[in-house]
A = this chain, B = another copy of it.
C-alpha cells in the first residue's frame, strides 16, 4: 500500500527532521531512499516535495548545510541545528497526541499482536 498523498501532507517536515536526528548528517536523496526502505516503499518522498521542504527548514534555522563534491557530483548535507533538535521533539509529541485523538475519534482499536 502506498498511502494517498493527502495523508502524508503535514508530516513531511517531521519525517525529514527525525531522519536527521537519527543519522546526524544526510543529503536529500539519501533521506528519500532511507524513508522508502524503512517504510517498505509505503512512503515515497518525491523530489518536488523534498527540496522545497529542505530549503524551508534551512530558512527556518532548523537545519544547517554543507556542500561537498563526491567526484564531480555535488552533494548537499543537512544537519539538525539546536533549534531543530528542540523542534523535532515538539513535533513528534504533537503528532503522537494527534494520533491518539484520531484513534479515539475514528474508533480505531489497537491491532492484535
Q: Identify the A interface with B (CB < 8 A).
A: 1, 3-11, 14-15, 18, 22, 35, 38-39, 42-43, 92, 94-108, 111
Contact = CB atoms under 8 A, between A and B. Distances in A.
Given A35-B105, A96-B108, 20 more contacts: A1-B94, A7-B10, A7-B11, A7-B98, A9-B9, A10-B10, A15-B105, A18-B105, A18-B106, A38-B104, A39-B105, A43-B101, A92-B108, A95-B108, A96-B103, A96-B106, A96-B111, A99-B99, A99-B102, A99-B108
Given A9-B9, A42-B101, A99-B99, A106 B14 contact: yes
Contacts of A15: 105-106
